[in-house]
């Protein structure tokens, strides 16, 4: 099994997936029918409201409040998304297939008319729908996938299945550890932006530690290298401040000074929000703070919503306004985002 530290949360999620293998059809029926009744075809204008930036990527203003749908039920109903403005469906793989039972598969299997209706509902609620690609179980560079062809495959899928953006959850630890993964991501992102043609959003979801570019574990410079090369094509980063037991768990360690060496690795040092900004020079409005929704949604770094809300308030006072990402959607995710937003971005 490909299981390197830092352990990806997405591996943890795999365990949940097998526990929830309800046949896709019954799930989608259950979730979509009530929602669809309220939708009329005259509201299907979401596609036309995008703005196009000259650098080839669509624009969306921060803050971003992002939720990953990681279990089989497809896009969550708008009624359960209060507080969020971006939903990422997991996962589309580099080879163009979707993970079994995944929300991405559910979306792909819906009739086009139902996809359009859901999109219209989302647009009405101000929610963008993303397809998240790769994830921790798909290591495209290590497997020898061509970055340019892969980007074209992904872009075609995004267009065919009518999402607003592509989230690049690249977790090829093997290739990054060798220093070859960075160029793969750069080539991929360049082609993706080209193929998407300026009408789609692009986010990336690196682990926080990959912004430390000088440690021995990141010979290729990690995401600092990626950001230097193609940062202008990336709308924001859903930075994974998790799966790092005991790290990023206080406001100070999350925002100002990430503490310590994690499993004797350099990866956790100098990768708090403001350190990423200072050392990697990533703009503060692109560093979205990613956290698990519950203690069980990741291998560590959980903060409760009330406490996280105080950190968010501190960060906002220091001119950060990128937003919050949670892994993963459940019956408590909306409560969590509302708590985390309550002081700085109240609804």
Ligand X SMILES: *[C@@H]1O[C@H](CO)[C@@H](O)[C@H](O)[C@H]1NC(C)=O
Nearer to ligand X, 93 or 130 (CB): 93
Task: Tell me the closest approach of the beta carbon of residue 232 to ligand X, in angstroms.
Answer: 5
Query: Binding ligand X by CB under 6 A: which of 307, 316, 321, 343?
Result: 307
Nearer to ligand X, 87 or 234 (CB): 234
Task: Tell me the closest approach of the beta carbon of residue 62 to ligand X, in angstroms.
Answer: 10
Task: Tell me the closest approach of the beta carbon of residue 42 to ligand X, in angstroms.
Answer: 25
Query: Binding ligand X by CB under 6 A: which of 102, 108, 269, 301?
Result: 269
Residue 93 near ligand X by CB under 6 A:
yes
Q: Read out DSSP for 15-41? A: HHHHHT---HHHHHHHHHHHHHHT--G
Residue 270 near ligand X by CB under 6 A:
yes
Q: Alpha-carbon distance 279 to 176, whole Å?
A: 19
Burial readout 256-275 (b: 16 or more C-beta within 10 A, e: otherwise): eebeeebeebbbbbbbbbbb
Which stretch in 12-20, 25-33, 89-97, 125-133 sits in contact with ligand X by CB under 6 A? 89-97
Nearer to ligand X, 114 or 153 (CB): 153
Q: According to CB under 6 A, which residues from 166 to 205 bind ligand X?
A: none
Q: According to CB under 6 A, which residues from 218 to 257 bind ligand X?
A: 232-235, 246-247, 249-250, 253
Task: Tell me the closest approach of the beta carbon of residue 268 to ligand X, in angstroms.
Answer: 7
Task: Tell me the closest approach of the beta carbon of residue 235 to ligand X, in angstroms.
Answer: 4
Residue 259 near ligand X by CB under 6 A:
yes
CB 236 within 8 A of CB 64: yes
Residue 16 near ligand X by CB under 6 A:
no
What percent of the chain is helix, strand and coil (3-state, nearest 5)?
45, 15, 40
138: region left, alpha or beta (phi > 0 left; psi from -120 to 50 alpha): beta
Task: Tell me the closest approach of the beta carbon of residue 55 to ligand X, in angstroms.
Answer: 4
* DSSP strand pairing (51-52 vs 58-59): antiparallel
Query: Binding ligand X by CB under 6 A: which of 43, 44, 80, 109?
Result: 80
Angle between helix 305-317 and helix 333-341 axes, rounded to 10 deg: 40
Q: Alpha-carbon distance 32 to 27, whole Å?
A: 9
Quick one: three-class SS letters along 149-205? HHHHHHHHHHHHCCCCEEEEEECCHHHHHHCCHHHHHHHHHHHHHHHHCCCCEEEEC
Burial readout 288-326 (b: 16 or more C-beta within 10 A, e: otherwise): bbbbbbeeebbbbbbbebeebbebbbbbbeeebbbbbbb
Using CB atoms within 10 Å of the CB of residue 146, give its burial: 0 to 12 exposed, 13 to 18 middle, 19+ buried.
Answer: middle
SS3 44: coil
- Closest-approach residue to ligand X (CB): 260
Nearer to ligand X, 114 or 272 (CB): 272
Residue 125 near ligand X by CB under 6 A:
no
Residue 212 near ligand X by CB under 6 A:
yes
Task: Tell me the closest approach of the beta carbon of residue 243 to ligand X, in angstroms.
Answer: 14
Which stretch in 118-126, 174-182, 213-221, 312-320 sits in contact with ligand X by CB under 6 A? 213-221
Binding site for ligand X (CB under 6 A): 53-55, 57, 59, 79-80, 93, 95, 97, 137-138, 212-215, 232-235, 246-247, 249-250, 253, 259-261, 266, 269-270, 279, 304, 306-307, 331-332
């Amino acid at each position: 099994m490909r299981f390197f530290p830092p352990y990806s949360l997405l591996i943890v999620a795999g365990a949940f997936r097998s526990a929830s293998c309800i046949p896709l059809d019954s799930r989608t029926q259950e979730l979509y029918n009530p929602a669809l009744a309220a939708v009329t075809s005259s509201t299907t204008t979401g596609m036309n409201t995008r703005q196009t930036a000259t650098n080839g990527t669509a624009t969306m203003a921060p803050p971003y409040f992002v939720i990953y749908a990681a279990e089989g039920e497809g896009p969550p109903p708008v009624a359960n998304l209060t507080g969020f403005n971006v939903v990422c469906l997991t996962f589309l793989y580099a080879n163009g297939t979707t993970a079994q039972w995944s929300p991405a598969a559910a979306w792909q299997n819906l009739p086009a008319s139902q996809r359009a209706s859901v999109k219209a509902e989302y647009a009405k609620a101000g929610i963008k729908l993303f397809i998240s690609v790769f994830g921790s179980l798909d290591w495209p560079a290590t497997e020898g996938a061509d970055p340019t062809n892969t980007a074209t495959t992904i872009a075609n899928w995004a267009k065919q299945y009518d999402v607003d953006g592509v989230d690049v959850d690249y977790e090829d630890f093997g290739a990054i550890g060798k220093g070859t993964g960075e160029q793969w991501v750069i080539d991929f992102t360049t082609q993706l932006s080209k193929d998407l043609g300026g009408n789609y959003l692009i986010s990336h979801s690196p682990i926080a530690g990959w912004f430390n570019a000088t440690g021995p574990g990141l010979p290729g410079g990690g995401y600092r290298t990626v950001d230097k090369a193609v940062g202008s094509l990336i709308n924001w980063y859903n930075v994974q401040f998790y799966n790092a037991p005991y790290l990023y768990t206080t406001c100070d360690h999350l925002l100002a000074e990430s503490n310590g060496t994690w499993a004797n690795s350099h990866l956790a040092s100098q990768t708090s929000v403001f350190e990423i900004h200072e050392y990697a020079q990533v703009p503060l409005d692109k560093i979205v703070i990613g956290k698990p929704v519950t203690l069980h949604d990741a291998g560590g770094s959980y903060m409760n919503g009330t406490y996280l809300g105080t950190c968010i308030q501190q960060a906002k006072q220091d001119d950060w306004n990128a937003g919050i990402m949670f892994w993963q959607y459940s019956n408590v995710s909306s409560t969590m985002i509302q708590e985390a937003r309550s002081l700085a971005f109240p609804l």
